[in-house]
Amino acid sequence: MKYCPKCKASFSIGQRFCSNDGATLTLQDPYNLVGRALMDKYRLDALVGMGGMGAVYSAVHLSTGRQIAVKVLLPNLAIGNPRLLELFEREARVVGRLRHENIVDIIDAGRTTDGVAYIAMEWLEGHPLEEEIQRGGPLSFQRVSEILRQVAAALEESHSQHIIHRDLKPCNIFLVKRPSGREQVKVVDFGISKSLGDTGGSPVSSVMGTPQYASPEQFRLGENIDSRTDIYSLGVMLFQMLTNALPFNDTTISALIHKHLNEPPPPLRSLPPDIP
């Protein structure tokens, strides 16, 4: 359930705004941050999403009145886990270097006096590609080509800065509807991204990423990875957008990894035969 932070009325999980006063609805906030002004700059109005590492709040930049999003490292995970804190703060540094219309814009980042790590970023009005695939089935060739073009443009920019995403997947691709009616793609969540030297790849020190979309080299400790790992993940997403299925899937992670490492993907036309 969600509730309105103004009138306290309850609503279904799928509703986004209060029908009484138009306020953004919030999930139950276990961290009691709704209503707080971080650093006396960002007022958190509603908890709108939870991920593996962070909680995302709808917020207002108090000095400008601009609606923004604030991502907070989950406090229960941050305690005694410097590795997670490092990954979270790396995201702000990495994305802060990137300036591209298809990459989420970072405004600010820091830590409060009581240790809450946060990233302030542009507010995106839309939904993730994952949701689009789940509710719409296979997407049209025209839609897929436009999404693919924009994600590839974002990757071209990040790779030119020697940054690989390493966790490209549909829930990290946000579809934004602009006032003109144009759909804009935004790549988000560079939390486990990696910076590469100018002269070569970077060795895998731990298996990271989402197994359904990860490249084979991400499963081999000590293997060098480079920008091609994102291209592989983009190929998996392309397959999924066209077929509404994953090229590799299994009930166990070990079996899934074995398929990525050893088996060819099924032909696209074995699923929707009308694909040219």
Report DSSP state, residue 175: E
All residues at 6 or more sequence positions from 21 whose CB lies less than 8 Å from its CB, including other chains: 4, 6, 7
Active-site residue identified among 167, 189, 198, 226: 167
> How far is the C-alpha of 95 from the C-alpha of 240, rounded, in Å?
26
Neighbours of 100 (CB within 10 A): 19
For tokens 């509730």, what's the residue? 3
167 given a catalytic annotation? yes
> How far is the C-alpha of 129 from the C-alpha of 132, rounded, in Å?
5
> How far is the C-alpha of 193 from the C-alpha of 233, rounded, in Å?
13
> How far is the C-alpha of 222 from the C-alpha of 210, rounded, in Å?
18
- Three-state DSSP at 209 gives coil
Instruction: State the alpha helices, DSSP H only, in 113-140.
Output: 129-136
Give 24-32 contacts, CB < 8 A, sequence gap 24+: 24/48, 24/58, 26/2, 26/58, 27/2, 28/1, 28/3, 31/55, 31/72, 31/74, 31/75
Give the CA-trace dihedral at 142, 226, 87, 54, to 10 degrees. Answer: 20
- Which residues are designated catalytic? 167
